[in-house]
Structure 1
Amino acid sequence: MISKVHIETHEKNGVTKLKSAFFTTPFKVVDIREDKKNTLLELILMSASPGILDEDELYFDYLLHKNSKLELTSQSFQRLFTMKKRAIQTTNVTLKENASLFYLPQPCVPHKASNFKSTNHIYLEKNTTLIWGEILTCGRKIKNEIFEFTNYQNITKVYKENKLILFENLYLNPTESNPMHLGQFEGYTHQLSLIFLNDSSNIDTLKTKIYNYLETKDCLFGASETPTNGIIVKILHFKAEKLMQWMKALTNIIKDDRF
């Protein structure tokens, strides 16, 4: 199945509104903002499908016009089912001047023998804010499927004014190398990656706040500054729910510092 989602936002009188939304089966875009006067638009991406199947192709396109602010979440865990070939996902994001995107989807769960490649292209203009979170699990632990997928790859490229400023390539092939070895998941089974980019934030102060928060948690983590004004946080743990909780908490810390 080939599925497409297009979301476009704009700002009017200080409030972000949904300018247009287009989606095909099995997706649906729903506005979950309770206070319509809230400047931040909150959308959830819903799906009638139980997950991603063999040879599925998913295309997402998000365009945020000047001054608009969007928080985008997903309905449920993204399950990658057993495949004979491969499924792909391509996401294109454009943030116009002074736009903000908080992307906080549910975790990805690759089932046994799944093969999946995801590519994210993110284009930022001046004075934009990006929070890009992704959680990967080892698979269905309850069924003892721990890193039994065939292949998983997630590529993220971020461009600032058409210049590549960040490139991340998460590639896991358990048949070639055990992901739980030293230098990879190091005995853990779940990973959170959180990217934050903003031109004017005090990254040193923010980094201290993040460390102070995570030091009290039972996890392995690290935070690195990006070549531009930003930070990448990596957390390893054993439970997806905990990583979701911490991702939201870190997002709030960043929001409190930034807005």
Structure 2
Amino acid sequence: MISKVSIEAEVKNGLTQLKSAFFNTPFKVVDIREDKKNPLLELILMSSSPGVLDEDELYFDFTLHENSQMEFTTQSFQRLFIMEKSAFQETNVTLKTNSFLCYLPHPCVPHKDSSFKSSNTIYLEKNASVLWGEIFTCGRKLKEEVFEFKQFQSVTKIYQENRLVFFENLYLKPSESNPMNLGQYEGFTHQLSLAFLNESCDVKNLKKQLDTYLEDKNCVFGISETPTNGLVVKILHDKAEKLLFWMREMTKIIKQNGF
């Protein structure tokens, strides 16, 4: 199945609103903003499908016009089912001047014998900001499917004013290299990656706040400053729900800093 979601947002009367929205089976995009005076547009992606199936192709396009703000979340975990071949997802994001996107999907769960590749490309114009989250899990642990998928790859590229400033390539093929080995996950099974880029943020102060929040959590984490003005947070743990909760709490801290 080939499925597409296309979202375009703009500011009207001080509030970010949908300028256009397109989606086809199995997806539906819903506005969940409770406070109608909140300038932030809050959307959730709903799906009638149990997950991603063999040879599925998923395409997402987001365009945020000048000064617009949007938060995009998902309804449930993204499950990757058994596949003979593979499935693919492509996401393209364009953020115009002074716009902001917060992308916080649920964790991805690759089932046994699944094969999946995703490509995320984000273009930031002047003073645009992005908070991009991703949670990867080893599979269905309760069914003893720990790293039993064929292949998983997620490539994320972020450009600021047409210059590549962030590149991440998560590639796992358990049949060739055991992810539990030394120098990789080392006994952990889940990973959170959270990237935040903003030209005016006090990243050193924000890093201290995030360090303080995570220091008493039972996890392994690291926070790095990006070459441009931003931060990348990495966390290893063994519970998807914990990582999802921490991602949302760190998002609150980032927003409290004015973003």
TM-score category, normalised to shorter length:
over 0.9
Counterpart Cα distance in 1 of 2:124 and 2:57? 25
Alignment match, 2:88: 88
Distance 1:215 1:182 in 2: 23
Matches within 5 A, 1:62-141: 62-141=62-141
Cα shift readout 1:74-118 (whole Å, capped 9, x = no counterpart):
000000000010100000000000000000000000000000000
1:42-81 aligned within 5 A:
42-81=42-81
User: How far 1:185 moved relative to its partner?
Assistant: 1.2
Q: Distance in 2 between matches of 1:197 and 1:236?
A: 22
Tell me the equivalent position of 2:32. 32
Give the number of aligned pairs: 259
Residue 254 of structure 1 corresponds to: 254
2:224 counterpart residue number:
224
- Distance in 2 of aligned mates of 1:255 and 1:180: 34
Instruction: Please list the CA deviations of residues 153-199 of structure 1 after superposition, one character each: whole Å capped at 9, or x if unmatched.
Output: 00001011111111100000000111111221111011000000000
Shift of 1:258: 2.6
Mapped to 1, the partners of 2:83 and 2:135 lie a distance apart of: 21
SS of 1:258's equivalent in the other structure is: coil
Distance 1:252 1:182 in 2: 33
1:2 matched residue in structure 2 = 2
Root-mean-square deviation over aligned CA pairs: 0.6
Q: Which residue of 1 aligns with 2:235?
A: 235
CA distance in 1, matches of 2:41, 2:187: 39
2-structure distance, mates of 1:61, 1:183: 35
* Map of 2:148 onto structure 1: 148
Alpha-carbon distance in structure 2 between the residues aligned to 1:67 and 1:229: 19
Match of 2:165 in 1: 165
2: distance between equivalents of 1:78 and 1:183?
A: 27
- TM-score with structure 1 setting the length: 0.99
Counterpart Cα distance in 2 of 1:95 and 1:135: 23
* Structure 1: segments with no counterpart, 5+ residues: none
Sequence identity percentage: 68
Match of 2:23 in 1: 23
AA at the equivalent of 1:76: S
Q: Distance in 1 between matches of 2:78 and 2:102?
A: 18
Q: What's the TM-score, normalizing by structure 2?
A: 0.99
Shift of 1:68: 0.5
Quote the offset at 1:22 in angstroms. 0.1
Deviation for aligned residue 1:128: 1.2
Separation of aligned partners in 1, 2:212 and 2:183: 24
Q: 1:69 corresponds to which letter in structure 2?
A: Q
1:212 aligns with 2:217: no
CA–CA distance in structure 2, aligned partners of residues 185 and 67 of structure 1: 39
The one-letter code matched in structure 2 to 1:32 is I
Offset at residue 149 of structure 1 (A): 0.3
Q: Which amino acid aligns with 1:258?
A: G
> Offset at 1:129?
1.4
Q: In 1, Cα distance between the equivalents of 2:239 and 2:258? A: 29
